[in-house]
């Protein structure tokens, strides 16, 4: 019995070191896990407070406001070709608007003077009376036509051909030719710069279209270089392209409008001058018939 107790004690004594070693290993493992958790917690950023979040939002809004692109910034950042296109269209637009103002004033002034001159002329019964009535009228195309026709009439009188029937036809043709020449000069003066207006109206949209194509091409190049299709990359180029199109229309629309207005007014004044020429020739032939 005693021997059995000694054997059991020896077994317990032998098992004690093994159990102690197992407990120590478990403790070390636990400590390592705790240290890892503490390291992760230390590395993780602390959650921002409400004040910090508000400050970050304000800074983001400030940065977004600083990135706004104005029209002048877009033009300044545009390539040289686009700037040249915009300068050309700007000059065309300014010139077309200036011509529009000038043509409106000139056409209305000449139309008014022509109508008043013809109205005063219709009161005369003879060429001499017409010359007296029209001497005080302001200068205009109709007055120049009358002066040319009346000058031929006076030359015929000085040469003694006014009352000769056989010379009547030639005199009428000379009067008509002299008045027509003055009329053509007046119409040509009214129609000055019309060719340039037509060129602006027809070509300005195509110049703007060239700027549009150039801007879109630059947008695609930006996409290829940045390897992104973000709208922030392509938007400036597209906006620049659309602005070139708008500039072309701004130049073309006034040019077309003033061209149509000038053409109509020139035709109207030309009609008044033709009627005046016919009336003057009729007055001369009636006076010839009265004098035999």
What does the H/E/C string look like for 155-207?
A: HHHHCCCCCCHHHHHHHHHHHHHHHHHHHHHHHHHHCCCHHHHHHHHHHHHHH
Residue 247 burial (10 A CB sphere; 0-12, 13-18, 19+): buried
**The pLDDT of residue 222 is above 90:** no
Judged against a pLDDT cut of 70, whether residue 15 lies above it is answered with no
Could you give the CA distance from residue 179 to residue 2 in angstroms, rounded to a whole number? 162
Predicted confidence band of residue 229 (pLDDT cuts 50, 70, 90): low
Does residue 228 have a pLDDT over 90? no
Lowest average pLDDT, out of 29-43, 111-125, 192-206, 216-230, goes to: 29-43
What does the mean pLDDT of the chain come to?
Answer: 76
In this prediction, residue 183 has a pLDDT band, given cuts at 50, 70 and 90, of very high
Instruction: Identify the CA nearest to 204 among candidates 173, 151, 244.
Output: 244
Residue 246 burial class via C-beta count within 10 angstroms: exposed 0-12, middle 13-18, buried 19 and up:
middle
Contact (Cβ atoms closer than 8 angstroms) between residue 144 and residue 182: yes
Longest CA span, the chain: 185
Predicted model pTM? 0.66
H helices, E strands: number in the chain = 9, 0
**Contact between residue 137 and residue 123 where contact means Cβ atoms under 8 Å apart:** no
């Amino acid at each position: 019995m005693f021997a059995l107790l000694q054997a059991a004690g020896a077994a317990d004594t032998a098992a004690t070191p093994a159990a102690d070693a197992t407990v120590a290993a478990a403790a070390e493992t636990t400590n390592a896990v705790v240290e890892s958790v503490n390291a992760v917690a230390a590395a993780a950023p602390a959650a921002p407070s409400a004040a910090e979040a508000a400050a970050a939002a304000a800074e983001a809004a400030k940065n977004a406001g600083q990135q706004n692109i104005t029209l002048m910034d877009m033009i300044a950042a545009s390539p040289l070709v686009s700037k040249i296109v915009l300068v050309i269209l700007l000059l065309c637009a300014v010139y077309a608007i200036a011509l529009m103002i000038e043509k409106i004033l000139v056409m209305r002034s000449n139309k008014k003077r022509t109508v008043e001159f013809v109205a005063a002329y219709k009161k005369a019964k003879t060429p001499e009376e017409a010359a007296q009535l029209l001497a005080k009228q302001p200068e205009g195309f109709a007055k120049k036509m009358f002066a040319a026709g009346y000058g031929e009439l006076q030359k015929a009188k000085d040469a003694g051909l006014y009352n000769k029937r056989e010379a009547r036809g030639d005199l009428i043709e000379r009067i008509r030719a002299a008045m027509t020449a003055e009329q053509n000069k007046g119409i040509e003066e009214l129609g000055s710069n019309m060719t340039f207006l037509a060129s602006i109206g027809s070509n300005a949209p195509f110049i703007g279209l060239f700027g549009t194509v150039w801007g879109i091409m630059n947008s695609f190049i930006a996409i290829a270089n940045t390897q992104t299709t973000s709208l922030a990359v392509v938007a400036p180029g597209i906006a620049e392209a659309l602005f070139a199109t708008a500039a072309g229309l701004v130049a073309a629309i006034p040019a077309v409008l003033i061209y149509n207005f000038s053409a109509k007014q020139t035709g109207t004044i030309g009609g008044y001058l033709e009627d005046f020429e016919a009336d003057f020739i009729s007055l001369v032939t009636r006076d010839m018939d009265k004098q035999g």
